[in-house]
Amino acid sequence: MHSTLLALLLQATLPPFPAVAVDAFPPAARREISTVQREASARPDDVEAVGRYAKTLHAWDLWQPAHDVYTRLQHLDPKSFEWQYLDGVALQRLARHADAANAFREALARSPEYLPARVKHAEALFDAGRIDESEALFAALVKEPAAEPAAEAGLGRVAAARGRHELAVKHLERAVALFPELGAAHYTLARSYRALGRTDDARRALALHEQYGPRWPAIEDDVLARVAPLRDDPRARIRSGVKLAEEGDLAGAIAAHEAALAQDPSLADAHGNLISLYGRTDNWAKAEKHYRAALASGVNLSDVHYDHGVLLAMQEQWDAAADAYRRALEANPLHAHARNNLGQVLERQTKFADAADEYRRALEAQPGFRLARFNLGRMLIGLGKPTEAVAELEKIREPRDAEAPRYLFALSVAHVRAGNRAEGIKWAEDAKQLAIGFGQRELAAAIDRDLASLK
Amino acid sequence: MRAVLLLIATCAAAAVAAPEPPLFVESAAATGLDFTHVNGATGLYYMPEVMGSGAALFDYDGDGDLDVFLVQSGAFESGSSSPTARLFRNDLTSGRLRFTDVTTRAGVGLRAYGMGAAAGDYDNDGDVDLFVTSFGPDIMFRNNGDGTFTDVTREAGVSDPLWSSSAAFVDYDRDGDLDLFVANYVDFTVAGNKLCHDSVGARDYCTPRAYRPVPDRLYRNEGGGRFVNVTEAAGISKADGSGLGVSVGDYNGDGWLDVYVANDATPNQLWINRHDGTFVDEGLLSGAAVNAAGNPEASMGIASGDFDADGDEDLFVTNIVGETFVLYANDGHGSFEDARVRTRIARPTAAMTGFGTHWFDYDNDGWLDLFVANGAVSIIEQQRGEPIPYRMKNQLFRNTGKKTFDETTTPGGPAFERAEVSRGAAFGDVDNDGDIDVVVTNNNGPVRLLLNQAGGRHHWLQVRLEQGPGNRFGFGARVGIERAGKPTIWRRVKTDGSYLSASDVRVHAGLGDAAKVDAVVVQWPDGQRERWVDQAADRLVTLRRGTGRQDQK
């Protein structure tokens, strides 16, 4: 009697089975999602079947449907950590931070030590404006080595939000000492430095924020790691291939793209990516084959021609490369990289004035394109216009990153040619020190030789 | 006793059941505002298809009521059959609100893939000119003062082939004429169209990350109807971004006009005026460029105004679904706090993609409220398979006066129940009844005119400025409205902000219960201040420079 009543009560409170209208999905998504949906709808109270359905929706970034199914799972399997936790992740993606915090709290009630959930709980509370609760959690997380950078960054953000910038700086400096690429911490650090009147420090921190962007210290998350493999379609393979390429695994990247094309030969972006991937492995024939295929697709022609131009330039087929860049520019006259590369080919062909013109046009399209400005500066020096060169090269003195030494060296040469010897020596010294700092020994030696002759 | 209880119950039920009148009534068709935007969608998902278009609310014929210019997009290969932009004359002076299509007579039947509009008297001849941005060269229409316009793009020197979005007239160098800032978006071309997909692999519009941002433009007005491109000299080219929204204000409180640009998926820029004709981007350091975690957001439309009545200009920026809209609260010195959570803006906007927006006091209670025109740019799951799967409801938020907002979309009325793909929004008192109405443009859909029904509950004042032959309408001036025992209401004279749209240049202020104003203070664009005391409420007052008392700050 009791169990029947409980079952009835459960049915009464159980959220309805959430079905997703898969008919309008493309074939791969329809196939994968409809399979698990069918199984789950046949056994709507079966945790395993409904769980697979929820996680598959999650894997396809269908956050709202995934949240709906996780909600049902929380009723079917109330003691489970997994559904609460994954629901919290989905809710974060829906920007429902207060709800996400509640989900993480419930998850942690079931598995209090799961580190990724503890970090996410603290972050969700902060994003929901519940700063005091967030602070307490971050303070506890500082003792966990894997979470320490995120926890220090969190404490820094909490202090900054309260206007306690000295304390914020202390936490944030610790965070970036532990994980130098923590872009968000550099950003908050810059804001706190500014509030304290430390403007130069603020600008340096901003440059690091710009350099590292959203990079974040990864914390191993076994529960979440089991979700992504539930999606196995050509687009997922391309995404994986792009990620592998970013990590430097060219063979893996090529294999992932080829596997995607084996499933769907019409994927224009896979062909497009393979032009440069094969190019980078010197497999010209394969690269050419994928160039033809990408061209036939009729989309993204400017990048397709541009990639082909790079490919041809790598083979030192300069005339053909120039033609490819021109075709890229026909499709998109604002393609700054195609302009810059065309300028470099023209430079090789000793057409210096034309090259300078292409660099100028690259800069019209993209004024912040430092390499194009450097090239323009060099050309102007070569064309006997050192004063104009100085004006251009002055604009790329900052930021003082690994590219800066050669830019400063060019600025030094321009000054010398313009008759400003002292300025030339000053910038050459600066360039040399910076080159040494970045371990660019050959450049430093070249600058040294130049300095010796100047002095 | 039972009968009494029954009566009370009946009365209570009646009280509950009696519907509140809607705050706004949609009246486009009823007033003759007959316009449907055409995006020319080809099935190839060209990015401009989903971005436009905008509107301008301005008094082109100087008869004291607001006319409506509606930007058209049309086909990518425009031919003689392509629909054109339209100008509708407001015939309110004849006694009732009615619009007449005067496009042909006015000569503004533009065939271009239009995006937005900016309105301002760039040639200082006393009438309002029109600048139209487009996917392709922009267009400047000079108002001839006789109900017609002339395309003076070439003479003005403002034709630019980059894909432009919003634009703003601003006298940044204080030389007495209006200069022009144009936000440009990305380097999309038809031939360079890319293939993008949504999360389930269906073809969808690309995000701006698929393309490269192109630089914005600043044109200095040289007089004589000519502008010079000073983008590089002014330092504007030092940072680029995918620009969609532009707003002018004095964000660091130094008395000079700055420019804020909302960039889609790249950090927003806060161009601080250095008083020497140049600007420096302080967006990131100011805190108004990215979210609190340091990540750029989709940033489309901008509302710039003093929502908390502390005397500085705060920024509200619309974002994409999954981000929430953001309110950047200004500390008065150009440092901003991401206040989206504490102001209760975040939660009701998490599932929205917003475009046109504005601070406006719809109920005239003295506090700036918010309207947001919403519409997705990528397929909404529940609408997948429908012809236009990007529809969303617009939103209304009421300022509680306690630095928080309550969503009042439902009391807004049936006009807010309709889900469409809204983009531009222009604000102004279209029927001259003392409250602010809204013109909303819809992508590939009909224009909407939301007539405000809520303003009559409180007092109000509208101010129109006039100064000498330069910058006649006082663009950039600040108007302070002083009421006994209440904080001064500060408003800026401007037509920019929102998304792709231009709003009424007249300053509007709700006064709450105050039937009179102690004084109106005007801080002119050159920094001089004047004061006019004892102004009666519930009227439009024109303040001419030199007729008030000199005022010390």
Q: 3-state SS of B396-414?
A: EEEECCCCCEEECCCCCCH
Residues A282 and A417 in one domain: no
Q: Tell me, what's the pLDDT at B108?
A: 97
d(CA A306, CA A302): 6
Q: What is the pLDDT of residue A14?
A: 81
The proportion of chain B whose per-residue pLDDT surpasses 70, expressed as a percent, equals 96
- Reduce the DSSP state of residue B541 to 3 states and report it: strand
- What would the pLDDT profile of B409-440 be if each residue is shown by its tens digit? 999 999 999 999 999 999 999 999 999 999 99
Least confident of A249-258, A341-350, B361-370, B465-474: B465-474
Q: Do the chains contact at A301 and B381, CB–CB below 8 Å?
A: no
- A94 contacts B194? CB cut-off 8 A: no
Residue A11 located in a structural domain:
no
CA dist A328 and B192 (Å) reads 8
Residue A251 and residue A286 share a domain? yes
3 state DSSP class of A232: coil
Pair of tokens at residue A337: 């990289």
Give the model's pLDDT for residue B1. 45
State the pLDDT at residue A17. Answer: 86
The number of angstroms, rounded, from the C-alpha of B289 to the middle of its chain's C-alpha atoms is 19
Helix, strand, coil percentages, rounded to 5, for chain B: 10, 35, 55
Question: Do the Cβ atoms of A367 and B195 come within 8 Å?
Answer: no
| For range B447-456, the mean pLDDT | 94
> Would you call the peptide bond into B389 cis, given omega within 30 degrees of 0 as the criterion?
no
| Beta carbons of B523 and B254 less than 8 angstroms apart | no
Structural domain includes residue A378: no
The residues, any chain, with a CB within 8 Å of residue A380's CB and separated by 6 or more, are: A356, A386, A388, A389, A392, A414
CA separation, residue B459 to residues A357, B190, B451, B486 (Å)? 62, 52, 18, 14
Beta strands in B429-500 (DSSP E): 437-442, 448-452, 459-466, 478-482, 489-492
User: Cβ B237–A95 below 8 Å, yes or no?
Assistant: no
Q: Is A112 helix (H, G, I), strand (E, B) or coil?
A: coil
- pLDDT tens for each residue of B105-146: 999 999 899 999 999 999 999 999 999 999 999 999 999 999
Give the 3-state secondary structure of residue B513: coil
Residue A5 included in any domain: no
The span from the CA of B526 to the CA of B521, in Å, is 14
Model pLDDT, residue A2:
58
CATH of the domain at A446: 1.25.40
Whether A183 sits inside 8 A of B192 (CB atoms) is no
| pLDDT band at A214; cut points 50, 70, 90 | confident
User: Which token pair is A441?
Assistant: 């020994």
* B350 contacts A94? CB cut-off 8 A: yes
Whether residue A361 is found in the same domain as residue A321: yes
Are residues B191 and A209, on separate chains, in Cβ contact within 8 Å? no
Compare all CA atoms of chain B with the CA of A199 and give the residue at the minimum distance.
B285
Q: Is residue A407 part of a domain?
A: yes
In order of A438, A445, A454, B488, the CA distances from A451 in angstroms are: 19, 10, 5, 64
Residues A398 and A308 in one domain: no
CATH number for the domain that contains residue A294: 1.25.40.10
Whether residues A347 and A446 fall in one domain: no
Q: How far apart, in Å, do the first and last CA atoms of chain B sit?
A: 66
Verify whether the Cβ–Cβ distance A335 to B293 is below 8 Å. Answer: no
Residue A217 pLDDT exceeds 70: yes
Which H, E and C letters describe B104-133, residue by residue?
HHHCCCCCCCEEEEEEECCCCCCCCEEEEE
Residue by residue, DSSP assigns B42-98 as -SS--GGGGT---EEEE-TT-SSS-EEEE-----SS--TTS---EEEEE-GGGTS--
Which of B284, B286, B380 is the best substitution to test chain A (most A C-beta atoms within 10 A)? B284
Residues of A in contact with B194 (CB under 8 A): 299-300, 303
Q: Residue A190: what pLDDT?
A: 96
Which neighbouring-strand residues pair with B492?
Answer: B478
- Are residue A454 and residue A353 in the same domain, yes or no? no
pLDDT of B335 reads 95
Side chain identity at residue B36, one-letter code: T
Taking only residues 420 to 449 of chain A, the set having a beta carbon closer than 8 angstroms to any beta carbon of chain B reads: none
Structural domain span for residue A402: 386-455
Amino acid found at B216: D
Residue A374 falls inside a structural domain: no
> Do residues A105 and A202 both lie within one domain?
yes
Chain B hits for A94, CB-CB cut-off 8 Å, are 322, 350-351
Dihedral (Cα; B350, B351, B355, B360), 10-degree rounding: -60
Residue with tokens 């008094």: B59
> Is A275 among the domain residues?
yes
pLDDT at B9 over 50: no
Residue written as tokens 């939301």?
B450
Do A32 and A154 have their domain in common?
A: yes
- The verdict on A266 and A312 lying in the same domain is no
Task: Determine which of A188, A200, A332 to mutate to test the interface with B (most B C-beta atoms within 10 Å).
Answer: A332
Q: Is B157 helix (H, G, I), strand (E, B) or coil?
A: coil
Burial of B343 (0-12, 13-18, 19+ CB in 10 A): buried
Of A164, A188, A206, the last residue of a domain is: A206
Partner-chain contact A191 B285, CB within 8 Å: yes
pLDDT given for residue A12 in this prediction: 61
Measured distance between the N- and C-terminal CA atoms of chain A, rounded to whole angstroms: 101
Within-domain flag for A248: yes
pLDDT (0 to 100) of residue B17: 58
Give residue A4's pLDDT. Answer: 62
pLDDT band at A452 (very low <50, low <70, confident <90, very high): confident
Give, in order, the Cα–Cα distances in Å from A48 to each of A36, A39, A57, A73, B9: 11, 10, 14, 9, 52
A206 with B285: CB under 8 angstroms? yes
CA atoms within 13 A on the CB side of B485: 4
Is B164 exposed, middle or buried, given 0-12, 13-18 or 19+ CB atoms closer than 10 A? buried
Has residue A293 got a pLDDT over 50? yes
Find the CB nearest A129 among B189, B342, B381.
B342
CB B265 within 8 A of CB B273: no
* B335 contacts in chain A (CB < 8 Å): 194-195
Best interface-test mutation with B: which of A94, A132, A299 has the largest number of B CBs within 10 A?
A299
pLDDT digits (tens, 9 = 90+) for A386-444: 999 999 999 999 888 899 999 999 999 999 999 999 999 999 999 999 999 999 999 99
Q: Using alpha carbons, select from B465, B425, B469, B477 the residue that is nearest to residue B170.
A: B477
Mean pLDDT of chain B: 94
Nearest by CB: B195 against A269, A336, A367: A269
CA distance linking residue A51 with residue A41, whole number of Å = 11
Q: Residue A117 to residues A137, A173, A175, A332: CA-CA distances in angstroms?
A: 11, 24, 20, 46
- Give the residue carrying structure tokens 């439309």: B301
The interface pTM score, or ipTM, of the predicted complex is 0.90
Distances in whole angstroms, Cα of residue A247 to Cα of each of A98, A146, A215, A243, A253 = 35, 22, 14, 6, 9
Residue B267: closest CA among chain A residues belongs to which residue? A210
CB-based contact A95 B350, cutoff 8 Å = yes
Evaluate if residue B304 carries a pLDDT over 90.
yes
CB-nearest partner of B201 from A127, A233, A330: A233
Phi, psi for B507 (deg, rounded to 5): -85, 135
| Residue A233 neighbours by CB under 8 Å, 6+ apart | A28, A29, A32, A263, B201
| Res B5 pLDDT > 50 | no
Task: Tell whether the model's pLDDT for residue B10 goes beyond 50.
Answer: no
Cβ B192–A186 below 8 Å, yes or no?
A: no
Contact A3, A10 (CB under 8 A): no
Residue A319 has pLDDT above 80, yes or no: yes
Q: How far is A147 from chain B (nearest CA, A)?
A: 17
pLDDT tens for A184-200 read 999 999 999 999 999 99
Distance set, CA B160 to CA A367, B2, B75, B154, B217 (Å): 16, 78, 20, 10, 9
| b/e map A111-138, b = 16+ CB within 10 Å | eeebebbbbbbbbbbbbbbbbeebbebb
Contact yes or no for B324 and A95 at CB 8 A? yes
The rounded distance, in Å, linking the Cα atoms of A28 and A197 is 55
Looking at residue B295, its pLDDT comes to 94
> Is A213 a domain residue?
no
Mean per-residue pLDDT for B87-91? 98
**SS3 for B184?**
strand
Residues A197 and A241 in one domain: no
pLDDT at A399: 83
Split into its structural domains, chain A has a count of 4
Of A298, A319, A353, the last residue of a domain is A298
Q: Which residues contact B251 (CB under 8 A, 6 or more apart)?
A: B258, B260, B270, B272, B286, B288, B312, B313, B315, B330, B334
Mean pLDDT of A258-282: 93
By Cβ distance, the residue of A93, A98, A235 closest to B201 is: A235
Judge residue B199's burial from the number of C-beta atoms within 10 Å of its C-beta, 0-12 exposed, 13-18 middle, 19 or more buried: middle
Give residue B89's identity as a one-letter amino acid code. R
Nearest-Cα distance to chain A for B303, in Å, is 22
pLDDT at B78: 60
Residue A336 at interface with chain B, using a CB cutoff of 8 Å:
yes
* Nearest CA-CA partner of B334 in B317, B312, B316: B312
Structure confidence at residue A232 (pLDDT): 86
Mean pLDDT of chain A: 94
Please report the pLDDT score of residue B245 as a whole number: 98
Hey, CA dihedral for A119, A120, A125, A127, is it positive or negative? positive
Last residue in a domain, options A277, A298, A319? A298
Tokens of B152: 């003076």
Q: Which residues of B405-435 are buried (b: 16+ CB within 10 A; e: fewer)?
A: bebbbebbbebbeebbbbbbbbbbbbbbebb
Q: Which single residue is written with the structure tokens 């950078």?
A: A149
Helices (H), A267-300: 268-280, 284-297
Q: Is the pLDDT of residue A337 over 50?
A: yes
Q: Are A32 and A112 contained in the same domain?
A: yes
CB B521 within 8 A of CB B549: no
> What pLDDT is attached to residue B7?
46
Written as one letter, the residue type at B182 is V
Residue A19, pLDDT score? 87
Rounded Cα distance, B498 and B507, in Å: 16
pLDDT in tens, B13-72: 445 556 789 999 999 999 999 999 999 998 999 999 999 999 999 999 999 999 999 999
Domain match, A407 and A335 both: no
pLDDT at B287: 95
Q: Which residues of A19-33 are buried (b: 16+ CB within 10 A; e: fewer)?
A: ebebebbbebbbebb
